[in-house]
Amino acid sequence: MQVDGEEDRPARAEAEALLRAGRLFEARCTAQDALDADGPDAGLYAVLGRSHAAEDADDEDDLAERAYRRGLAAFPDDLDLLAAYAELCLNSDPFDRPTRHGHGPELAERLRELAPGSPQALRVEQAASLRSGLIGRTGPQPPSASRAQRHDAREALTAAAAAGVTPREAAHSAREQADGRPSDLRLAVRAETLAALARPGLAPLRLLARAPLAGLAAVSVAVGAAVVAVPAFQLPWWISFAGPVLCLPHRILALLLRAARRRAATTAPPTGAEEPDPTAYPLLQPVPGISRRERTVSLTAALVVIAAVTTAGVWSDARYRSYPHYTASPPAVFRGAQLLPDTPAGTSLSNAMTAERDMGDTEPFTYIYGTPGRARPEAMVFGAIGDFHDTSPDAVGFFEQGLRSITSTAGTAWNADPGDDGGWLRCVAYTPVLDSGARQVACSWADKGSVGTVIVNEEGLDHESAAGLTRALRHAILHSGPVV
């Protein structure tokens, strides 16, 4: 059992050094091994608990609480253990861990009874003010830990830039102040924050920390522009990911600041530290409340992003639902073949298309080209015009699928260039069931305003020729109007 005045164990000093260096796993292993080998030690229990709590995970917080409870069972009046456990409880979620959170004020009161004005008691009081405040209190609420941290970092970086001091020098000065007053959690957090921001290559994050409102305004405008540009200029959909990418610096800064707060929480006032002069507490100026300018910029930035997303959504939906408005008007002659009205083949095609496909509000068409008196037409075209805004590339395969479902005479099928009219085009060569000696090619097109199929009765057509005939006949029949 540890008693007052006992010399620090070497293992405790080693574990504390590992904890301060951020080597949490090694600190835990060293502390646990020493406890297993030499028995209870308040300092080792404190290191064990703080190294678990610094991992910032629910299961690690449970392990930290277990370590603190074991330590306090052996050393119920140890100030470091009481302070560490109080910070853990005060920082816990009152809804997720109500019992643990309720222990915080009890432990803080116990510290005030044992050592009023001690570094540990003052640090716990400050943690309660910065992090959790007083639940249910009336009047102005104390600033959050994150707001206090950002304010202190901004003030320090701005002052350093005005004085021509490098970020590394500012971090070194902040560390000296924190070491000279270990009971002040804000000083510890500021020192860790400036040390993290002083690393090479983090100049953009330092600028963001110094001018958060300007950064917020800039990123909101950039995100809004990226989101709106996709439907406005018909850019690829993945361009919209530029929005989240532009937010990455803010997210990285938030993670860096959170890690700095976590590291500051792992340090504890050294045992035997002199009590600070209450008249000089705190050294840092109070954190101001949220200003009207901050509220205005934040609200405006949020409205810009919301308006951009809404506009992009409405615009994208309008573009998705829009379709080219066609008028079907066939030429009287196509490649020397005449337009044949009221033919049996045309009537059969029209009836079959109406029966097989739900045309809805669309307007179907059927045209036959050939030589009067001949039983076999040279070309047949059938389809519909109207609202096909939700059509897909699969639509051009309906004729081929019908052939393969009723006969095995379907041969080679291929995708072809739809030409300037856009959409999709697919062709299939096949042998008619009732005319085994003939070879026909059917090419089907589809776009947001029309679907159709051209059947050509011509021997020796290669792939490109068949697709070219379809493109030409499609273009000759369909006449574009306004997009609606």
Which of 76-90, 113-127, 365-379, 439-453 is the least confident region?
Answer: 113-127
Q: Calculate helix-pair angle for 203-210, 145-163, nearest 10 degrees.
A: 110
The pLDDT confidence band at residue 17, using thresholds 50, 70 and 90, is confident
Closest C-alpha among 450, 441, 448 to residue 470: 441
Residue position matching structure tokens 């095995």:
408
pLDDT confidence of residue 244:
87
The pLDDT confidence band at residue 353, using thresholds 50, 70 and 90, is low
pLDDT confidence of residue 117:
80
pLDDT confidence of residue 356:
55
Q: What is the mean pLDDT of the chain?
A: 85
pLDDT over threshold 70, residue 315? yes
- Burial profile 287-300: b = 16 or more Cβ within 10 angstroms, e = fewer: beeeeeeeeebbee
d(CA 376, CA 243): 60
DSSP 341-391: -S-HHHHHHHHHHHHHS--TT-EEEEEEEE-TT-SS-SEEEEEEES--TT-
pLDDT in tens, 34-90: 999 999 999 999 999 998 888 878 888 999 999 999 999 999 999 999 999 998 898
Shared fold status for 10-132 and 324-483: no
Q: Within 13 Å, how many C-alpha atoms sit on residue 377's CB side?
A: 20
pLDDT over threshold 80, residue 139? no
The pLDDT confidence band at residue 182, using thresholds 50, 70 and 90, is confident
**Helix, strand, or coil (residue 284):** coil
pLDDT confidence of residue 473:
95
In this structure, which long-range contacts are made by residues 100-106, counting pairs with CB atoms below 8 Å and at least 24 apart in sequence? 100/65, 101/132, 104/128, 104/132
Closest C-alpha among 345, 352, 409 to residue 377: 345
Question: E strand or H helix at 445, and its extent?
Answer: strand 440-446
pLDDT in tens, 241-285: 888 898 999 999 999 999 898 888 776 555 444 555 544 445 688
* Fold of the domain spanning 324-483: Protein Transport Mog1p; Chain A (3.40.1000)
Q: Are 409 and 430 in contact (CB under 8 A)?
A: yes
pLDDT over threshold 70, residue 29? yes
DSSP 242-273: HHHHHTHHHHHHHHHHHHHHHHHHH--PPTTP
pLDDT confidence of residue 351:
67
Task: Tell me which DSSP letter residue 290 carries.
Answer: P
**Helix, strand, or coil (residue 451):** strand
The pLDDT confidence band at residue 142, using thresholds 50, 70 and 90, is low
d(CA 129, CA 114): 20
**What average pLDDT does this structure show over 120-140?**
63
d(CA 379, CA 339): 10
d(CA 483, CA 73): 79
Question: E strand or H helix at 410, and its extent?
Answer: strand 410-416
pLDDT confidence of residue 57:
80
Residues 6+ apart with CB under 8 A from 408: none
**Helix, strand, or coil (residue 312):** helix
pLDDT confidence of residue 269:
56
Record the tokens describing residue 447, joined without a space.
Answer: 């776009």
Per-domain boundaries in the chain: 10-132, 145-270+291-320, 324-483
Indicate the CATH number for domain 10-132: 1.25.40.10
pLDDT over threshold 80, residue 342? no
